[in-house]
Amino acid sequence: MHVKVRLAALLVSLLPILGLPGTIRDAAAQGASAPAAPADAGPFRSATSLMGTPKYPADFKHFDYVNPDAPKGGTVRLSENGTFDSFNAIITRGTPGAGLGLIYDTLTTQSRDEVATAYGLIADGVRYPADFSSVTYRLRPEAKWHDGTPITPDDVIWSFDVLTKNNPGQAFYYRHVKDVQKTGEREVTFTFDQGGNRELPQIITQGTLEAPLGSGAYKIKSFVPGRTIVYERVKDYWGKDLPVNVGTNNFDEIRYEYYRDDTVELEAFKADQYDFRVEISAKNWATAYDFPAKAEGKVLLETFENRASGVMQAFVPNLRRAKFQDPRVRRALNYALDFEGMNKTLFFDQYERVNSYFSGTELASSGLPTGRELEILTPLKDKLPPEVFTTPYTNPVNGTDQDRRSNLRKAADLLKEAGFQVKGRQLVDASGTPFTIEILLMSPAFERVALFYKPALERLGIGVSVRMVDTSQYINRIRSRDFDMIVASWGQSLSPGNEQRDYWGSDSATRDGSRNYAGISNPAIDALIEKVIYATSREDLVAAT
């Protein structure tokens, strides 16, 4: 399959279809007759892939990585940090509960032993014309809601409309979807405003703790607001025998327990209050798991190499604030960060410094641009710093006391060049305003990281405060861009696309709720993002990143 189809076929493929209230569903069903699907749309396919031919044929029985005879039953207990006040994952206010994806099925579902390949779930077929200007999904006749009502094209259209009208971030992500129409009794067609487009999700309209109507393998059984959510397996789930579901959805119940404090959450695990934990603290991994259940073999610790994605985590300055807008200031902040000392003291030498937005993958850049990469960058030369073409990027190294002193001197020089000066041990700008940074956090796990960074900044004359807030306040402040600096992470897949606009694009810099936390706005970056999204080969994609 041509690579460009990923921008169409996978666009809507991961669309969670939402339950319409009955009266709305009935009204939608009484709409005008369906227009015809594009005549040149091609044959229906059982799967779509970004990376060549799907692994599994149309008549496959189950994914290779599942046990098709896995026993059903039991309860798995999981943990979440913080709280929740809504079962609505669409709107940008409130905090949605964990596990809501369990109750919604999607048009297709991705296999876990391939990169970016999707197989039919609600849809049993997908087709697209030669110019990739639209994508049509054919819904399974047996697909139904938990109340027994069939899932129809009208449900898909309503879900998409609700998502894009009530969530600015999703409206931005799917802005190239020009039209959604019912084009057959069981068909829905998404038309794009240009050839080639990508992925999609959906959910409902207002913050509420009323259990929503779903179509997936689980439904909400019970909950205690802010504390517990219990999902139960739907015994007559319509899709249980589909090849994509065989060997999955094995627990009778999935229970989420909420803890407002990281320490309490860890102690609850030791006390057998939940069953599975992903540890993100290097200190905890090295020191916190010496307890009887571990010694008795009742708790197993395992590490896994992640080859499917890269993760970038960093201190993020808010470039919407004038004090961070000069790149020399940001370089100075980087020189002040003693990563080597931090890694040894706090992380037990378990971390590696991020050197790319796609660290850990083949998409990561290194050295000077050459070949296809240079071809892509050359037309943007007047919009890029000259050193992009002359000096390979490397992070400062702070391995010794001498290195630390040298790097702090470089940081001080850069701040001086940017117009700041020290008066009475305080760094001030040309108007005499002190340079201060509030590092906003919601997790105690990052507090010690910020406190390690603080003394170096203070030696430069920068006033630093580290502020811990609860989850709801943190989310609201991030959404409204009310912060100086945060610690943030961005997950990267092996098939980056539209989400890069949300991470780094100019249009997302001023939009509340986007993941462009830093407020990056640069036409050269925008152009490179488009190169990533519309790459027509794997080689072009690797070069563009």
- Please state the CATH superfamily assignment of the domain spanning residues 309-544 in this structure: Dipeptide-binding Protein; Domain 3 (3.10.105.10)
Fold (topology level) of 3-49+63-69+100-192: Dipeptide-binding Protein; domain 1 (3.90.76)
Distance between CA 376 and CA 395 in Å, rounded? 24
Distance between CA 167 and CA 89 in Å, rounded? 9
Distance between CA 532 and CA 545 in Å, rounded? 7
pLDDT at 40: 66
**SS3 category, 232:** strand
pLDDT at 41: 67
Q: Where are the domains of the chain?
A: 3-49+63-69+100-192, 309-544
pLDDT at 13: 45
Distance between CA 334 and CA 331 in Å, rounded? 5
How far CA 463 is from CA of 154, 441, 458, in Å, comes to 56, 17, 6
pLDDT single digits (tens) 193-227: 865 443 322 222 234 556 788 999 999 999 999 99
pLDDT at 195: 59
Report the predicted TM-score, pTM, of the whole model to 2 decimal places: 0.73
Q: Would the CATH topology of 3-49+63-69+100-192 be identical to that of 309-544?
A: no
Amino acid (one-letter) located at 275:
D
Q: Are 316 and 518 in contact (CB under 8 A)?
A: yes
Distance between CA 545 and CA 543 in Å, rounded? 6
The whole-number mean pLDDT for each consecutive block of 10 residues of the chain, a chain of 545 residues, reads 31 46 36 52 85 90 98 98 84 82 91 88 90 88 95 91 80 83 94 56 37 90 95 97 98 97 94 95 91 95 76 92 98 97 92 86 90 96 95 92 97 98 96 98 91 98 97 90 95 86 94 91 96 87 92
Amino acid (one-letter) located at 278:
V
**Helices and strands, number each (H, E), in the chain:** 17, 17
pLDDT at 159: 85
pLDDT at 164: 84
pLDDT at 490: 87
pLDDT at 309: 65
Sign of the CA dihedral with 208 first, then 211, 217, and 222 last: positive
pLDDT at 87: 85
pLDDT at 102: 94
